[in-house]
Amino acid sequence: MSIQYSNVSIHESVQHGEHVTVVMPSNVYGCTLGNHVFVGPFCEIQKNVTIGDYTRIQSHSFICELVTIGSHCFIGHGVMFINDTFSEGGPARGNKNLWKKTTIGNHVSIGSNATILPVDICDGTVIGAGAVVTKSITVPGVYAGNPAKLLRKL
């Protein structure tokens, strides 16, 4: 197994496959990174996150707990994943039972500055830059806007 990084060691709690690159500074801990994963600088990937083979995470992205990203995905710059929907009128304040999971399929591309709430996104989907995904996506296509809407099927 190999992992490339500069000026700081990756946290020992990270499980990783072959040829993983994490560009520092980044905060990556307690997660699982598949083979040939790339993580750009200034990213945070929290515990209980799984990222599939050949997926690229660009700079300034935040991937919170309970997110699973498939293989051959592209996560653009500044993409934010959310696991706390403030379901009781404010932050969960440590009550992780209120957090919800997100599952991203394979061959999904998410444009820069998109926000992904706790949803499922099916294989072969494209999310436009700046989109806010508030509902699960079950039909492959191109989605954009706030809230994200289907522009065309793929």
In single-letter form, the type of residue at position 40 comes to: G
Question: 47: number of CA atoms within 13 Å, CB side?
Answer: 5
Residues 152/144, Cβ–Cβ less than 8 Å: no
User: 3 has which bridge partners?
Assistant: 20
Q: For all residues of the chain together, what is the average pLDDT?
A: 93
Report the catalytic residues: 60
Give the CA dihedral 6, 51, 114, 59, nearest 10 degrees.
10
Please tell me the distance from the alpha carbon of residue 14 to that of residue 45, in angstroms, as a whole number: 10
What pLDDT, in 10s, does the model give residues 63-120? 999 999 999 999 999 999 999 999 999 999 878 999 999 999 999 999 999 999 999 9
Instruction: For each of the domains in the chain, give its residue range(s) and CATH number, in order of start.
Output: 3-153 (2.160.10.10)
- 5 pLDDT band, cuts 50/70/90, is low
3 or 113: which leads in pLDDT: 113
Per-residue pLDDT for 8 more than 60?
no
pTM for the full predicted model: 0.93
Residue 124: pLDDT over 90: yes
pLDDT cut 90: percent of the chain above it: 88
